Amino acid sequence: MTKAELIDTVWNSKAVKTDITKKACAEVIDATFDVMGKTIRKEKRFSYPGFGTWTVRRRKARTGRNPQTGAKIQIKASKTVGFKPAATLKNTL
C-alpha cells in the first residue's frame, strides 16, 4: 500500500465520521508518523496496543563480502528499527 492509497482508504473509511478534507486527513497521517519517528528516536521504542511495538535495534560490526569481486569488506555497526507484531495482529494473519 502506498501513502496515497493509505490516505484514500482512511479518508473514505466509515471510521472517519467527520467531514474533514482529504488534505487534512493527509496532514493527520503525516503528523502521526512524525510523532512515531520522534518517539522511536527519543525513547528507543513505540508501542501501539493490539498492533505491535517498534524498537531500535543495534547491528554489530561484521565482515562481509563484495558480491562482484568476492573481496572481504568491513561493515560498520549500525542502528535500525525492528517491529514485533502484537499477538492480536499475528492471530489475524
Read off the CATH number of the domain in which 58 is found.
4.10.520.10
Q: Is 58 helix (H, G, I), strand (E, B) or coil?
A: strand
Burial class (CB in 10 A: 0-12, 13-18, 19+), 79: exposed
Name the 3-class secondary structure at 15: coil
Supply the range of the domain harboring residue 60: 44-93
**Residue 54 included in any domain:** yes
pLDDT tens series, the chain, 93 aa:
999 999 988 888 876 667 788 898 899 999 999 999 999 999 999 999 999 999 999 999 999 999 999 999 999 999 999 999 999 999 999
87 falls within a domain: yes
pTM score of the predicted model: 0.76
Cell 560490526, residue? 61
